[in-house]
Amino acid sequence: MRSLDWVVKKAEEISMDHSSIMKFLEEILTILKEKQKNRIDRWIAESQPVTPFLIIGDLHGDLDTLRTILSRTSHERLAKGELTLVFLGDYVDRGEYQVETLLTVLLLKREFPENVILLRGNHEPPENLKPYPHDYPSILRSRYGYIRGLEIYDKSLEVFNKLPLVLVVRNQFVALHGGLPTQTFKKEVSLVEYFMGKSQSEYFEIMTEILWNDPIESSHYRIPSPRGVGYLFGRPVTEWFLHTFRFNVVIRGHEAVDRGFKLNHGGKVITLFSRLGPPYYNSRAAYMVVDTSIERWWARITNFIVSLSR
């Protein structure tokens, strides 16, 4: 069966030319806009638990690891809708092949729009919430020149603004980049209101938490984050969220972990980190292949985690 690593080669070809990148990003914007019929679609993606889910954590420009994962993935299964590919965000910054990595995941979205879900990470930032370091714009300027690099960056920000923040698989799991928001913890809210708030003032605060929060083993529902943005959310938030909205686990990225994954809150929060190499020097990377047709699959969560090393 044909693997998906051909997408990487195509991304490398597009990355060679400024005009090709701009044309491609415009095409992706059209695809993303077509899938977003309303404000909720822009915030929350929803998928039915009818296929296995291949879930990939932070990449940060690690094209080699992404290529390895895709080489193990069947083009035919994705094309037939027998697999859903989920990315948890952080495609750019820090890595050597940021442009190629971003183009690869966007190419996958173009080729398989119904079966590829690209979530937004904190390194795909809103204009007024940029992380540090955020070297993607400087990489673009050095490769393509100041003006053309700025054009690509501005168009990239438009694409980032169209990426959803949360994937909901009803009665199974929720996937997001950072963590569960605490602004709407224990409030009388629907699932949509929990993730989007009831007012414009809550909207940005919740987005910040989804992109930046981290789990902590604590009985406190939240404490300030050492990142300087967002919060560390404790076990009470996870337990309340899962019970209230009838999910089994939360799958997220955002943290560099040495084994490529870690479990928090009694195995109910799973962190995936799918990048290898500097500046993190983690010994392994990881991704997940979740089969929701298996009864109580979440009770044996580590069976679905795949480790990678160089």
pLDDT of residue 39: 65
At residue 37 the predicted structure's pLDDT band, cuts being 50, 70 and 90, is: low
Give the type of residue at 43.
W
Domain spanning 6-16+46-178+250-308: which superfamily? Metallo-dependent phosphatases (3.60.21.10)
Instruction: Record the tokens describing residue 262, joined without a space.
Output: 């870690």
For 76-107, the pLDDT digits (tens) are: 999 999 999 999 999 999 999 999 999 999 99
For 152-209, the pLDDT digits (tens) are: 999 999 999 999 999 999 999 999 999 999 999 999 999 999 999 988 778 899 999 9
Contacts of 209 (CB under 8 A, 6+ apart): 178, 179, 180, 181, 182, 183, 230, 231, 233
- Nearest residue to 28 via CA among 88, 80, 106, 92: 106
